Copies of this chain bind each other. A is one copy, B any other.
Amino acid sequence: MVKVGVMGYGTIGSGVVEIIERNNSVLAGRIGDAIEVKSVLDIREFEGDPIHDKIVHDYKALAADPEISIVVETMGGVEPAFTFVKEMLENGKSVCTSNKALVADKGAELFQIAKANGVSFLYEASVGGGIPIIRNLSETLTAEVIEEIAGILNGTTNYMLTMMSEEGWEYEDALKDAQAKGYAEKDPTADVEGFDACRKIAILTSLITGRTVDFETIPTEGISKVTATDIKYAKAMGRAIKLIATSVVAGDTYVARVAPYLVPSTHTLYHVSDVFNAVFVHGNMLDDAMFYGSGAGKLPTASAVVADIVEIAKNPGKVIDMSWSDEKLVLGDVSEMTTAFFVRTKKDIAAVKAVFGDVELVTAEGVSGEIGFVTPIISEKDFAAKSSALGDVIGYLRMK
């Protein structure tokens, strides 16, 4: 009998308990042993709920329970999750987490503790919800050098951008709607400013390079400056605005960024709408591939946690290694990255051409008193200098 402990009976934690109950016989068949949730750590009691009998309040007692071999962490945040997870690993329990903040911040340290104690620390659910992107990058696309990852990794902002595009809404309307539907938090900063996507692309980049990427060094812009007028221009260009977290090989390192991009309809990410997530991967042999699915939500995310449990339970005594080292990966210089930019300005065409040269003008229905144009492919550094020289820039977006 494989006995599991769950830390945090919120959305994902209760989903894990539900899947282990509902798919119990299928899971037992795959593991080759019966499986059950023995204890659930939460500060609440859940009186009257069937889970009440399994609730415990002391993480040290959970860690000391010799029957429990696998612990799920679905509390979120760095502390006290880190302290609790460390205690579990040191007590010889493998841990599966959905907590991207924990993995991005403390991953390398927790991998080392896990290895030292002969157990596994897995985190499939921390990126892309139900999309099995961690396992695909670490165990499946193993013949590849991954040259590019471009992900729609935040369902909340993708929902908002989809609604802005479909309904013509301004950002504020989309945010209110997302909050009303429970997709966005009361304080939506982590989602809308790209901080959530930033941690996720840091995790993916650490995984493919084997070294720790400091998420704080990734230039990150969210969608809060995207307007209904930007969407009109995007449509006029046959493009969609998507918040993309990207990591691209650059010499012996990668350059990473989170920003809203104008994605052409020929790109597979163009069609990823609503709360869905997708991860586009370019391998040096495989060429383009994409993994698509529910990036959030109770059961899809819990499904990824349970897949971690199954892999650990199927391989008793084995340390499953999806780790990276604590050696830092210094990311490449973004200012040297090149792309075409879409720019909106109050200046006239002559001024634009004088600064940017041969640009492509874009007109959008119902937009006046400004001009929109696409620059040639230039470096970030050049763009910063030129847009400053031009002046009166209302906004800009990168072209994917």
Contact = CB atoms under 8 A, between A and B. Distances in A.
Given A132-B140, A144-B303, A307-B142, A289 B292 contact: yes
A72 to B, nearest CB: 12
A300 B135 CA distance: 19
A309 B285 CA distance: 15
18 contacts: A19-B285, A22-B284, A23-B143, A23-B284, A23-B285, A131-B289, A132-B136, A142-B311, A143-B302, A143-B303, A268-B271, A285-B302, A286-B299, A287-B294, A287-B300, A288-B293, A290-B291, A291-B291
Number of this chain's copies in the complex: 2
Given A27-B143, A143-B305, A283-B303, 6 more contacts: A22-B284, A132-B141, A135-B139, A139-B139, A141-B303, A286-B300
B288 A145 contact: no
A306 interface: yes
B294 A288 contact: yes
A293 B303 contact: no
A30 interface: yes
A334 interface: no
B293 A286 contact: yes
Given A285-B302, A299-B285, A302-B285, A143 B307 contact: yes
A26 interface: yes
A393 to B, nearest CB: 34
- A-B interface, 3 closest residue pairs, ranked by CB to CB distance from nearest: A289-B293, A143-B306, A290-B292
A303 B288 contact: no
Given A283-B303, A310-B143, A130 B289 contact: yes
A32 B131 CA distance: 28
A303 B286 contact: yes
Contacts of A130: 285-287, 289
Interface in A12-33: 19, 22-23, 26-27, 30
B141 A307 contact: yes
Interface of A: 19, 22-23, 26-27, 30, 130-132, 135-136, 139-145, 268, 271, 283-294, 297, 299-300, 302-307, 309-311
Contacts of A268: 271, 292
A30 B131 CA distance: 23
Contacts of A288: 293-294
A145 B23 contact: yes
A288 B291 CA distance: 11
Nearest to A272: B268
Nearest to A25: B145
A56 B300 CA distance: 50
A2 to B, nearest CB: 13
A293 B287 contact: yes
A143 B289 CA distance: 23
A139 B304 CA distance: 12
Contacts of A297: 287
A293 B293 contact: no
A292 B289 CA distance: 5
A333 B297 CA distance: 35
A303 to B, nearest CB: 4
A285 B293 CA distance: 12
A92 B319 CA distance: 27
A26 to B, nearest CB: 6
A286 B132 CA distance: 10
Nearest to A26: B145
Contacts of A145: 23, 26
A181 to B, nearest CB: 17
Contacts of A311: 139, 142
